[in-house]
Amino acid sequence: MADTRAGFVALIGEPNAGKSTLLNRMVGAKISIVTHKVQTTRARIRGVCMEGTAQIVFVDTPGLFRPRRRLDRAMVAAAWGGAADADIVVLLVEAHRGLTEGVKAILDALKERGEGQKIALAINKIDRVKAESLLALAQDLNTAFPFVETFMISAERGYGVDKLREWLAGQLPEGPWFYPEDQIADLPMRMIAAEVTREKLTLRLHEELPYQLTVETEKWEDRPDGSTRIDQVIYVARDGHKGIVLGNKGETIKAIGQAARADLMEFLDRPVHLFLQVKVRPNWLDEPDRYSEMGLDFRDGD
Ligand SMILES: Nc1nc2c(ncn2[C@@H]2O[C@H](COP(=O)(O)OP(=O)(O)OP(=O)(O)O)[C@@H](O)[C@H]2O)c(=O)[nH]1
């Protein structure tokens, strides 16, 4: 399809700015709630939505501006990961709090990274302030930073959200979609499930864990009986690695499957049938693709 668009959008902002609420509005409630539980190394996909012929993939960077101890430059730089590669960054600022020290720190970090990325401003929670103060705030913020566009929204009430989503779609580069349309609804769940299995592999194998190992959820089926069938493939780079993952008489993979299944049942609150396979896929690291660029471990090498 020639006229499709696809790209990554990073929602950033101070804690409590309304990122999850906005995402829920744009993508659907289930997704961002569940992904809260998951930690990945750099960017994580928070949700995918279609807008016309565009596929918008929302990513965020956990702990970006919420360092545990102090705001250390290196830490911010490291945490910045996913947002750096996003096509568009949307900074959420709370209308009633305005240009806080936290927002200033974010703007400084954005400036340091230089030009080359579209950065839009979304003033959120406009339901909490009067129109006059809103215009003044928009002006202050745009003086402080050259945003490509400013939106006034209420993520909670839905004001202005459709407009923002339409604009985002129009800004994305032309290109094929990253995910088949019929997978979008359960995509975050597939990724979470893959991460659960990866976590169990890491716990079990420690330093024995093969380099270049990835887990992918190939199939996700919510069955009419209330259970879910999940088929996953653990990809390793070499034949020798396969044996490590399988273990003696398959006992390692069995234990990993049991542990992952238990977690998934608790997480999904329904019976889970988990099927794991180990496959060798050499040279996957050489395959150029967007996912590894984004630092998305769970999709690396697809
Ligand atoms: N009044 C008002 N409240 C909002 C709006 N959007 C979000 N909130 C509230 O702001 C609070 C924080 O929203 P979240 O979506 O959890 O914020 P977040 O940025 O994801 O927060 P972190 O996960 O801590 O980074 C919640 O209590 C929301 O209900 C809005 O448009 N208006």
Q: Which atom of ligand 1 is nearest to the CA of 92?
A: 19
- Find out whether the beta carbon of 32 lies less than 6 Å from any atom of ligand 1: no
Q: Which amino acid is at 236?
A: V
**Tokens 């230089």 map to which residue?**
114
Q: Which atom of ligand 1 is nearest to the CA of 155?
A: 31
Cα(15) to ligand 1 centroid in Å equals 8
How many Å apart are CA 40 and CA 13, to the nearest integer?
Answer: 19
User: What residues form the annotated binding site for GTP?
Assistant: 13-20, 60-64, 124-127
- Find out whether the beta carbon of 251 lies less than 6 Å from any atom of ligand 1: no
Domain 186-299 belongs to what topology? GMP Synthetase; Chain A, domain 3 (3.30.300)
Quote the pLDDT of residue 269.
83
User: Hey, where are the domains in the chain?
Assistant: 5-171, 186-299
Ligand 1 atom 14: the closest Cα is on which residue?
Answer: 18
How many Å apart are CA 6 and CA 178, to the nearest integer?
Answer: 7
Return the structure tokens found at 126.
């406009």
CATH code of 5-171, in short, is: 3.40.50.300
The stretches of the chain forming alpha helices (DSSP H) are 19-27, 29-35, 73-85, 101-112, 131-144, 161-171, 187-205, 239-246, 251-268, 290-293
If the chain, 302 residues long, is cut into consecutive pieces of 10 residues, what is the mean pLDDT of each piece? Answer: 82 86 76 41 66 86 46 45 75 95 88 82 96 93 96 96 96 88 74 85 86 85 94 91 94 96 88 96 55 38 32
State CA 23 to chain mean position distance.
11
How many Å apart are CA 18 and CA 126, to the nearest integer?
Answer: 12
Q: State whether ipTM is beyond 0.90.
A: yes
Predicted TM-score (pTM) above 0.90: no
Q: Tell me the best of 21, 33, 92, 94 to mutate to test the pocket of ligand 1, counting ligand atoms within 8 Å of each CB and taking the most.
A: 21
Quote the pLDDT of residue 294.
40
- Find out whether the beta carbon of 40 lies less than 6 Å from any atom of ligand 1: no
Q: Tell me the best of 16, 58, 91, 164 to mutate to test the pocket of ligand 1, counting ligand atoms within 8 Å of each CB and taking the most.
A: 16
- DSSP conformational letter for 84: H
Q: Tell me the best of 156, 157, 159, 161 to mutate to test the pocket of ligand 1, counting ligand atoms within 8 Å of each CB and taking the most.
A: 156
Cα(156) to ligand 1 centroid in Å equals 7
Cα(8) to ligand 1 centroid in Å equals 22
